[in-house]
Amino acid sequence: QKEVEQNSGPLSVPEGAIASLNCTYSDRGSQSFFWYRQYSGKSPELIMFIYSNGDKEDGRFTAQLNKASQYVSLLIRDSQPSDSATYLCAVNAGYGNNRLAFGKGNQVVVIP
Amino acid sequence: DAGITQSPRYKITETGRQVTLMCHQTWSHSYMFWYRQDLGHGLRLIYYSAAADITDKGEVPDGYVVSRSKTENFPLTLESATRSQTSVYFCASSEGQGRNQPQHFGDGTRLSIL
């Protein structure tokens, strides 16, 4: 069974600080990694994807991938109250059918 | 650009009733997916479809039926609703195979079964 773990509890960060979220996955064959943001009562929204080791930056968001250690992380720089949401890590787990394995999510609360 | 739309947005029904949730996408995406999201469980895949007339089970298919006669539509039917099927249901779609194919989600249907 493909597993994606997001273990840390709710994360509270002051406005302007960096929020750091981590995700580990079990299948070494995983090739694509996605971060979704989900506001309360809304649907998941894609914010980043990464498939090569290293960093990928998009605005205030940076995704980091380390395939050897089987983890992917998301950094949110200059956190804003509008970043308060649940962040879902998703992994294309090599099913060959575009299926994604999702973590349960991490809640981020940005404190003004 | 309508994208992916789900209907209804909210539905209340009684146990034992049949209910169908609709999903329609305008992108001509090959793949479509149905998830349910419950507190403590995250997103769980119910069924998915790789193309018209091709469907397959996900993690939690029991009690659900799907069909896909046209590429753009992927309805989900609860044949005899149970209280345990009270949940938020999301439909998603993605393009054909390729390692960077993200899924795009509809707005969801909040289903309550009394």
Q: What is the pLDDT of residues A11-23, one digit of tens each?
A: 999 999 999 999 9
Collect contacts of B54-62 with beta carbons under 8 A, ≥24 apart. B56/A97, B58/A99, B58/B33, B58/B34, B60/B36
Contact check, Cβ <8 Å, A88/B42: yes
- pLDDT of amino acid B98: 64
Task: Tell me the average pLDDT across A78-99.
Answer: 88
Average pLDDT, chain A: 92
Chain A residues whose CB is inside 8 A of the B108 CB are: 42-43
Q: Which pLDDT tens digit goes with each residue over A14-51? A: 999 999 999 999 988 888 999 999 999 999 999 999 98
To test the contact with chain A by mutation, choose from B99, B104, B109 the residue with the greatest count of A C-beta atoms within 10 A, namely B99
Q: Can you name the residues that pair with A14 across neighbouring β-strands?
A: A111
Contact check, Cβ <8 Å, A88/B102: no
The bridge status of strand A71-76 relative to strand A54-58 is unpaired
Task: Tell me the average pLDDT across A62-75.
Answer: 96
B52: closest CA of chain A, how far (Å)? 14
Q: Identify the CA nearest to B66 among candidates B47, B90, B91.
A: B47
Closest chain B CA to residue A88? B42
Residue type, B102: P
Task: Tell me the average pLDDT across A60-73.
Answer: 96
Q: Is some CB atom of chain A closer than 8 A to the CB atom of B47?
A: no
Query: Which residues in chain B land under pLDDT 50?
Result: none
Closest chain B CA to residue A92? B99
- pLDDT of amino acid B101: 84
B114: closest CA of chain A, how far (Å)? 21
Task: Tell me the average pLDDT across A104-108.
Answer: 95
